A and B are shown apart, each in its own frame.
Chain A
């Protein structure tokens, strides 16, 4: 899922300082799981902003609403009505959600409350680590389920490099060398031969523009827009 962290309170406070009535819109999917932007976090941010505004003697109403997902038009469309009474909106979604909401509420300033960090996993409560760079070309099938693009500090497709020291990375001696792990994983599965395959150049060209994916079943429907 997408992992995000809440921005420092001061930054959020300053962004919405010029506005009286502000609606805080939460997102109930990825950022709710990583405790950054779900219903609970919207409540906390609203409570904090209310207290801070009371302290500063600033008037204005703070609304709270959380939708299932902000990256789906059907969930955010009803927000047009909800946001009508507010001068500005704070979105606690990832960058995608904030942009989708900002595009929907064109006339209204929409501010992000989070810094979107990476695609990762839930190691334990409150502990998240990165796993995927969404690089358009997945190598996990031949690297034993360990991503060289993400887990290798240098993103090497044909490793390990000369900087691996006793299974650790030269960039950070605390960090395991992804390619050593790939070697061990492949060896334990009896398919070490795969490590000899030379991977071709990574198709970086695919990542140079905002990506678009059209499901093959919908090609005819969207062909006119392409």
Chain B
């Protein structure tokens, strides 16, 4: 055998988490948009699915995201008391708390799911929560459910399909 046939292994890339962000259009999406316009830098680990209100977010959407290979899911809506639909964000919080219990039951770290509140004007906070979540998931490591081919776009597409149902 020729020694030249040995293929040099590529340097192991740092784990880049795939985080799905389910956000409301009125607050967090606006903040994320502003962060983009202002050229604020944050890790390229999140893919955003925009909802009219976080109150529309179903526990099934969250579970399907994990099924599709997401390392973490963050739900982010308006600050308490400022929901465009009065209490959609409060309902989302209740659902996220319940979904965390469901994740714990199956043996997946509930920390992979978190609810945040980011006001429309608070682009720096959006940058902060994405950094926080990215650091948290890097410490947790890839999702044990992670399958090859589960690209962030595919994860987002899987959730879009569930939402459209």
Contact = CB atoms under 8 A, between A and B. Distances in A.
Interface of A: 8-10, 40, 43-44, 47-48, 50-52, 54-55
A9 B105 contact: yes
Contacts, number: 36
Q: How many residues of B sit at the interface, in one of the four size bands? A: 10 to 19
B106 A40 contact: no
Nearest to A125: B91
Contacts of A8: 105
A40 B98 CA distance: 14
A52 B102 contact: no
A9 B106 contact: yes
Contacts of A50: 67
Interface of B: 59-60, 63-64, 66-67, 102, 105-108, 144-145
Given A44-B59, A44-B60, A47-B60, 7 more contacts: A43-B60, A48-B102, A51-B145, A55-B106, A55-B107, A55-B144, A55-B145
Top 7 nearest A-B pairs (CB, nearest first) are A47-B63, A52-B106, A9-B105, A51-B106, A54-B145, A43-B60, A48-B106
Interface of A is mostly: helix
B60 A51 contact: no
B96 to A, nearest CB: 14
B107 A48 contact: no
Nearest to B94: A126
Contact of A44 (B63, B66, B107, B108): B63
B107 A47 contact: no
